[in-house]
Structure 1
Amino acid sequence: MTVTPPTVAAEEPRRAYRRFRSIKGRETWAGLGMIAPAGVLLVLFLVIPVILAFALSFTNARLISPNPPRFVGFDNFIRAFTADPVFVQSVGNTAVFALVVVPVQAALGLLLAVLVNRRMRGVTAFRVIFFIPVVTSIVVVSILWKFMYQKDGLINAMFDALTFGAWSNVDWLNDPKTALGAIIVLSIWQAVGFHMIIWLAGLQTIPEELYEAAKMDGASPWRQFTNVTWPGLRPTMVFVLVTITIAALGLFVQVDVMTQGGPVNSTSTIVFHAVRKGYEQQEIGYAAAISLIFFVAVLAIALIQRRLTREKD
């Protein structure tokens, strides 16, 4: 019988532990090497710009100026709410846009998802048709709708035919009463297909057995929707509401392409006003302050939405 010396027996756990540390170390370095490119890009294009924007928001920095930036404290923030009526109007326009777009777009997306979730011939074609505006460039869509909104465009021609000439020649994008509404209609039409797909994915996660049980209990289609479909869509609903809200608050491209904030600033938004101040008027410090206000507002709204829609015990 061979007896292992005590020193050799004590060395075996140590060697196993060193091998384990060596393997873990190689895995750690391999993982760090894989995430390094993405990490560098995030730092360069996200972290550093956010830090610079935060620092610039407390200065009077300008893009082209012989004078160095000077620390002005909270003057930019005070100016935004007290001495800049265009910013206040932009906040109101953005709020109106979000309050209309978020519920309407979410409801229409859910309605379309319910309709295309049926097993019938040609339903795939309808899904593709509804989703085509989403994959089309928003710049191209805005240019096309700008032509449609002209006095002699397709929209007025359609209303002229439907009302027998009683309602036509409306200057949609040059009238302060209709310009923002015209952009709202365009935005809902362009993005509703994306949220239809999200709702559809949520619908297809609900087990079919629940609907069969509801039918056996004599539940009507509306009762099936309220007692089976809607509770099953709660996580999807949270995601849809948050994404629509963030996109609505960040409205910029449609305004930049179609109206340039006019007429009379009736379509100016927070993001558009920040870009105009920063690049057209070269007040980069003030634009950074507006961007910081926008970031805090979006974060607060998203957290409130998440709290109101959270699962309750």
Structure 2
Amino acid sequence: MSSSIQTTIIRQPADGDTALTPNNKSAEVIHENRAGWLMLAPACILLVLFIGIPVALAFVLSFTNARTISPNPTRFIGLNNFTRLFSDPTFWRALLNVAIFAVVVVPVQAGLGLFLAILINKKVRSSVFFRTVYFLPVVTSMVVVSLLWMFIYQNDGMLNQVLEKLTFHHWTAVDWLNNPQTALGAIIVMSIWQAVGQHMLIWLSGLQTISAELYEAAELDGCDAWHQFTNVTWPGLRSTRNMILITITIAALSLFTQINVMTQGGPRDSTTTVVFEAVRSGFQQQEMGYASAITLVFFLIIMAITAVQRRITHSN
């Protein structure tokens, strides 16, 4: 033939095949997005109900003179609550106490939890027993733990008796929770003891994700235990330590239950925290507007600290 005839062969879809036209693709994407939003809906509703609405309500009330029980109507007072807050020495003392608590608890609790996790990471017969023992305080109610340690810290409590025996009766009994010099330190020790088991398990889960082949290669290179930790274990725990750092910090800044049960902020505001001061102002003194201002300012402080931590941890 003098001329070539070009033919286009179009395969007809067989039985059961679906032609992927743009309209079908768009419908499929819409269906997937709709299914995703339906799955997210319960969590979004809970977030709005228990976080979004309370935050919005606290923001509105912080500019009013709202009281829990009052015959007078609530009225707008502008920035008066914030002016009072920043000139209140109790607030600054509470902020200082929280800062001290966080600075001590975050590294000590994280470091002790990592140390315990490394100890029980070995596959020995007693490892399960020690995991249970270390984790037992975590599943115990903080109220129960606080009451238990109140008896330990009494003048005639176990701690003073043990110290007296160890010093051959030269120890003078200390009322740990009623002494402004020791009250916050006593609560710090108790808080570390109670929560270290939780972070030990988180560290342990991170340790078990590190391949054993890396440790074998490090041993072949002549690395001792310390160099294996610095070159294999610590880099392999990057995501775990970032999460632990943020969670411990938030928990430390929101300290409340121990204070409410053990000291009520005393003696002389030496253990007052920001959350406790907000609850006391809102429910005991019935100043909901002022309490809302405290919570709003503290919320912004926590958000700023968390943002800085995220920036630091992601850059390392």
TM-score when normalising by structure 1 = 0.90
User: Residue 4 of structure 2 corresponds to which residue in structure 1?
Assistant: none
2:296 is matched with which residue: 292, 296, 310?
292
Corresponding residue of 1:176? 180
- Does residue 242 in structure 1 map to residue 252 in structure 2? no
The answer on 1:150 being equivalent to 2:154 is yes
User: Residue 27 of structure 1: CA displacement?
Assistant: 5.7
Query: Deviations for 1:79-116, whole angstroms, at most 9, x for unmatched residues?
Result: 1121x111111011111111110111011011001101
Does the Cα contact within 8 Å between 1:57 and 1:289 map onto a contact in 2? yes
- Aligned partner of 2:201 in structure 1 is 197
Name whichever of 261-270 and 54-63 sits farther off: 54-63
Supply the AA of the counterpart residue of 1:67: N
Taking a change above 3 Å as real, the CA distance of residues 16 and 302 of structure 1, as seen in their structure-2 partners, is closer
Distance 2:242 2:26 in 1: 43
Q: CA deviation at 1:160?
A: 1.1
Superposition RMSD on alpha carbons, in Å? 2.1
Structure 1: gaps (5+ residues): 1-11
Give matches, 1:17-56, under 5 Å: 17=23, 21=27, 31-56=36-61
Of 75, 81, 86, 2:80 maps to 75
CA distance in 1, matches of 2:163, 2:91: 34
Equivalent position of 2:220 in the other structure? 216
Distance 1:186 1:20, change over 3 A: same
Moved over 6 A (4+): 12-16
Residue number in structure 2 paired with 1:280: 284
Deviation at 1:37, TM superposition (A): 3.7
Letter in 2 for 1:76: N
Task: Give the superposition deviation at 1:68.
Answer: 2.0
Question: CA shift at 1:15, angstroms?
Answer: 9.3
Do the aligned partners of residues 119 and 19 (structure 1) sit closer, same or farther apart at CA in structure 2, a change above 3 Å counting?
A: closer
Aligned partners of 2:127 and 2:106: how far apart in 1? 26
Structure 1 contact 157–168 (Cα < 8 Å) conserved? no
Distance in structure 2 (CA, Å) of the matches to 1:24 and 1:220: 54
| Equivalent residue number for residue 3 of structure 1 | none
Alignment of 1:83-232 (within 5 A): 84-232=88-236
Matching residue's letter, 2:246: V
Q: How many angstroms does 1:33 deviate by?
A: 4.6
Distance 1:145 1:309 in 2: 35
Q: CA deviation at 1:136?
A: 0.8
How far is the alpha carbon of 1:42 from its aligned partner? 2.5
Deviation (angstroms), 1:25: 5.8
CA distance in 2, matches of 1:32, 1:237: 32
How far, CA to CA, are the matches of 2:119 and 2:46 in structure 1?
A: 42
Partners of 1:172 and 1:179 within 8 A in 2: yes
TM-score normalized by structure 2? 0.89
Partner secondary structure for residue 314 of structure 2: coil
How many angstroms apart in 2 are the aligned matches of 1:226 and 1:127? Answer: 24
Distance 1:177 1:111 in 2: 29
- Structure 1 residue 39 displacement after superposition: 3.1
The 3 A distance-change label for structure 1 pair 303 and 115 is: same
In structure 1, what residue type is equivalent to 2:72?
A: N
Shift of residue 58 of structure 1?
A: 1.3
**Given the alignment of the two structures, is residue 66 of structure 1 paired with residue 53 of structure 2, yes or no?**
no
Query: For the residues of structure 2 that align with 1:213 and 1:31, how far apart are their CA atoms?
Result: 44
